[in-house]
Homo-oligomer: A and B are copies of this chain.
């Protein structure tokens, strides 16, 4: 079989070692005679898997003691509702939420938040296109906001924060779905960090929420118990049956990350991978990336062929070279290469080699 490199934006590539271990343990986890899928979530075997995964994630992200880590369900789209249902109750109703609008994922979050609060756009790209994170100096924040919502990596638009947002005493809620664990972050700068697992962690169906303890306990009466962070925290993410197999795979990914040297080492590799691709795109007149250099995502690189009539030929050739899932999101068009942790630099080099070959043929 040709060597495959999978550039999907999510669900996305996983480390081969993790998949090999999962396959080997599928019918019998550690001599238990059971697959992880078959274990009672309250049994000693699964509890050890859950606790190890929680401890490893806490270590990898250096999560302070006054933060809870919750394993939930529903992805970032469900969390877009769950967040206001848990946080707007801290303020007189109707409360207000500030947003920095950076692209497609912020747009979805804004639309959902409007069900539960008034929404203010504290900052947005002026031309309505999402090619840069608005400069901090221009953010029009309000001290009475229930919270400030940011999406620190826009998967579709390819825009990433390369600075720590701050909002004074107003808690910051950050959607880190597509770059969590790809770079060192200071968790203490945030009130809530959330992420769907299926981009940079593991299988779809697991949502990670990291929440400062003083923000628990304010759920609206309409918030389902299964999504009330305080209840989830009090039950150690076991109020409802958690997505046990997804947690197991995420735990294997966390162990793999530790073997790779942790998040700081991973960040250096991600810088090298992203630079390799952006440098080639910038030097070429055949391709282009439209994102401001200070806001370019290391994880998701949208790019365009100057001659878009060649798009189909480009994708067909890429697939023949084992370079999969490079088609851009339908709302943006063109191409997109996602370079998550599990993408080795050899995959990025193979992509650059193909970009060059295609340019030489058609340029």
Choose, from A6-14, A57-65, A124-132, A345-353, the stretch at the interface.
A6-14
* Chain A 206-245 interface 0/1 with B at a Cβ cutoff of 8 Å (1 = within): 1000000000000011101111000000000001111111
Contact check, B27 vs A13: say whether CB atoms are below 8 A apart.
no
**CB nearest neighbor in B for A33:** B4
Q: Which of A62-84 contact B (CB under 8 A)?
A: 73-78, 80-82
Choose, from A39-47, A184-192, A283-291, A292-300, the stretch at the interface.
A39-47
Of the residues B35, B111, B205, contact of A243 by C-beta under 8 Å: B205
Report chain B residues within 8 Å CB of A6.
33-34, 38
Beyond A23-B27, A204-B241, A246-B246: 10 further Cβ-contacts under 8 Å?
Answer: A2-B33, A6-B34, A12-B40, A20-B26, A34-B324, A37-B249, A43-B325, A204-B242, A205-B243, A243-B246
Choose, from A163-171, A195-203, A258-266, A271-279, the stretch at the interface.
A195-203
Report chain B residues within 8 Å CB of A77.
225-226, 239-241
Q: Which of A107-139 contact B (CB under 8 A)?
A: 111-112, 115-116
User: Does residue A28 face the partner (Cβ distance < 8 Å to B)?
Assistant: yes
Interface size on A, residues (CB 8 A): 70
User: Does residue A322 face the partner (Cβ distance < 8 Å to B)?
Assistant: yes
User: Does residue A16 face the partner (Cβ distance < 8 Å to B)?
Assistant: yes
- A34 CB to closest chain B CB (Å) equals 6
Report chain B residues within 8 Å CB of A81.
224-227
Contact check, B78 vs A227: say whether CB atoms are below 8 A apart.
yes
Of the residues B73, B115, B220, B325, contact of A205 by C-beta under 8 Å: B73
User: Does residue A22 face the partner (Cβ distance < 8 Å to B)?
Assistant: yes
Of the residues B28, B37, B322, contact of A14 by C-beta under 8 Å: B37
Of the residues B2, B11, B13, contact of A41 by C-beta under 8 Å: B11
Report chain B residues within 8 Å CB of A202.
37
**CB nearest neighbor in B for A112:** B225
- A138 CB to closest chain B CB (Å) equals 30
Distance in angstroms between the alpha carbons of A38 and B342 in the assembled complex: 11
Q: A26-B26, A27-B16, A112-B224 are in contact. Are A240 and B34 (CB under 8 A)?
A: no
User: Does residue A332 face the partner (Cβ distance < 8 Å to B)?
Assistant: no
Contact check, A23 vs B26: say whether CB atoms are below 8 A apart.
yes
Report chain B residues within 8 Å CB of A10.
40, 241
Contact check, B37 vs A203: say whether CB atoms are below 8 A apart.
yes
Report chain B residues within 8 Å CB of A33.
1-2, 4, 6, 322, 324
10 nearest CB pairs, A to B: A205-B243, A81-B224, A4-B33, A23-B26, A77-B240, A78-B226, A73-B73, A222-B222, A205-B205, A75-B240
Report chain B residues within 8 Å CB of A249.
37
User: Does residue A19 face the partner (Cβ distance < 8 Å to B)?
Assistant: yes
- A217 CB to closest chain B CB (Å) equals 17
Contact check, A203 vs B26: say whether CB atoms are below 8 A apart.
no
